[in-house]
Amino acid sequence: MTTTLDYRDNQPLSAPEPALTLLSQAERGLADAELDSQPAQRFAGAYLAALRAAAALLAVRGRPHRGRSRPTSVWTLLGSVAPELHEWATFFAAWSDTRESVQAGITRVVSARAADDLVRRTGQFVGLVTRAIHGTS
């Protein structure tokens, strides 16, 4: 996936403390997932890291106002708040059911290859979000 980030006139986004905390948690969670020997746990850790990175960016850019709306997935919100990350939001949303299965204890749904791929893609995504929040190239 190729993504062009919007730095709003090449200025870094102002990052509130909660966003920086979420980003730090995403980075640590990804590092832990990389070391986990169990594919299902590696997958779940990587997915959670991606969720935290997305939440960090949402904390910086804000949530679109919808009045009294139903709860919305972080991936749906990310696609609307950061359209340049729409492909990433779609990618991670496609794995939501698998994550739910893993959380329910159904670990056979995740192969080592799928877990490794998600860890790799999450690393790319966390890197993009980090650059977007800190305004670096």
Question: pLDDT tens, 4-40?
Answer: 444 444 444 457 889 999 999 999 999 999 999 999 9
Measured between alpha carbons, how far is residue 86 from residues 27, 61, 68, 79, 102 in Å? 21, 15, 24, 4, 25
**pTM: predicted TM-score of the whole model, two decimal places:** 0.84
Spatial distance between the Cα atoms of 124 and 20, rounded to a whole number of angstroms? 18
Residue of 99, 96, 118, 107 whose CA lies nearest to 46: 118
Tell me the CATH architecture of domain 17-63+73-134.
Up-down Bundle (1.20)
Residue 67 has pLDDT above 80, yes or no: no
pLDDT at 61: 86
Residue of 22, 57, 74 whose CA lies nearest to 131: 57
pLDDT at 51: 97
- Quick one: DSSP state of residue 107? G
Q: 90-117 burial by CB neighbour count: b if 16+ within 10 A, else e?
A: ebbeebeebbeebeeeeeebbeeebbee
pLDDT at 15: 77
* Local confidence band at 69 (pLDDT 50, 70, 90 cut-offs): low
| pLDDT tens by residue, 44-62 | 999 999 999 999 999 998 7
Residue of 30, 31, 83 whose CA lies nearest to 52: 30
pLDDT at 12: 47
pLDDT at 16: 84
Place of tokens 């299902």: 40
| pLDDT tens by residue, 81-111 | 899 999 999 999 999 999 999 999 999 999 9
pLDDT at 6: 46
Spatial distance between the Cα atoms of 9 and 1, rounded to a whole number of angstroms? 23
Domains of the chain by residue range: 17-63+73-134
Spatial distance between the Cα atoms of 12 and 66, rounded to a whole number of angstroms? 26
Residue 64 has pLDDT above 90, yes or no: no
